[in-house]
């Protein structure tokens, strides 16, 4: 089928390529034309043009405002997509924004899934992403064959917005684990113990985790080149805190970690990997 993709960054580009490799005709649009270079795709001039050409359109852009602009703004997807077509938003945005966009599209008969993903750039390259879907179950089943080209675990969480709630929960747990690993390895170093050996010892016990394996290794090797840029986790935890405030839910641990991310941003490390939380601890 004709499939559109908007958002050709570290994760979006390999995701788009998987869809093209599966035999679909890929249509793309990007604010920076350079992002489309080398893609085996039809480059469109506006999101509306992609919408008019495609049965399903994926978005993988940064913020709630970005998704709203692409979907509903001037020359946005809504002005091109036909009734019965589907927008699959894989970006991490506010649940209320996902519901609002879905509502506006629904007025034109356009379906939407909020389908944020977890797994990072490597998961996008390997097509092993976890996909948390919010929207109508029947719509999910229509696009499931496409999603199966991108990830291994696809879970229908509930109606529109539910996928974004699940992603918020994912980010709470994951970034808390990154901070915990940073604090543990900082303590080891400050006590004069080899942090690499401590990580190796912990990996065989109840503290073992994917975060300890990947982020712990980056911290020990002091490899802070971005896997996922810390600025994105800073944005995500802001969404979490806003959702918690709206729901009246106390999230004290998340609030503390958000402050650490604020400090990281103030140090100018936002384009580093989130493993750079170790560097925040080392300044204190």
Q: Rounded distance, CA 71 to CA 64, Å?
A: 11
Note the residue count of the chain.
284
| Annotated catalytic residue 167 | yes
Angle at 199 between CA 194 and CA 203, to 5 degrees: 150
Among 162, 148, 123, 130, which Cα is nearest to 14's? 123
Can you tell me whether residue 10 is helix, strand or coil? coil
The answer to whether the beta carbons of residues 5 and 27 sit under 8 Å apart is: yes
Q: At 2, which helix (H) or strand (E)?
A: strand 2-6
Q: Which two tokens stand for residue 31?
A: 């604010």
| Count of Cβ atoms closer than 10 Å to residue 66 Cβ | 18
Residue 116 φ/ψ, nearest 5 degrees = -60, 155
Q: Which of 149, 167, 235, 271 is catalytic?
A: 167
Can you tell me whether residue 230 is helix, strand or coil? helix
DSSP labels, 18-36: HHHHTTPEEEEE-SSGGGG
| Catalytic residue positions, numbered | 167
């Amino acid at each position: 089928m004709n499939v559109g993709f908007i958002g050709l960054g570290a994760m979006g580009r390999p995701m788009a390529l998987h869809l093209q490799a599966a035999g679909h005709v890929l249509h793309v649009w990007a604010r920076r034309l350079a992002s489309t270079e080398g893609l085996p795709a039809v480059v469109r001039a506006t999101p509306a043009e992609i919408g008019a050409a495609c049965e399903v359109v994926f978005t993988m852009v940064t913020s709630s405002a970005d998704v709203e602009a692409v979907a509903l703004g001037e020359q946005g997807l809504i002005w091109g997509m036909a009734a019965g077509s589907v927008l699959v938003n894989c970006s991490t945005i506010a649940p209320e924004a996902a519901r609002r966009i879905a509502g506006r599209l629904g007025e034109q008969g356009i379906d939407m899934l909020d389908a944020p993903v977890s797994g990072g750039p490597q998961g996008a390259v390997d097509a092993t992403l976890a996909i948390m879907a919010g929207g109508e179950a029947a719509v999910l089943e229509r696009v499931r064959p496409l999603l199966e080209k991108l990830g291994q675990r696809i879970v229908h969480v509930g109606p529109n917005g539910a996928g974004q709630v699940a992603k918020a929960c994912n980010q709470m747990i994951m970034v808390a684990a990154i901070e915990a690993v940073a604090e543990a390895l900082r303590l080891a170093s400050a006590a004069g113990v080899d942090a690499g050996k401590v990580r190796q010892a912990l990996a065989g016990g109840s503290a073992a985790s994917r975060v300890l394996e990947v982020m712990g290794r980056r911290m020990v090797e002091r490899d802070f080149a971005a896997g996922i840029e810390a600025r994105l986790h800073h944005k995500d935890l802001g969404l979490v805190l806003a959702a918690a405030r709206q729901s009246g839910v106390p999230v004290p641990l998340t609030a503390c970690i958000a402050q650490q991310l604020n400090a990281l941003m103030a140090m100018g490390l936002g384009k580093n990997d989130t493993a750079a939380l170790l560097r925040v601890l080392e300044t204190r």
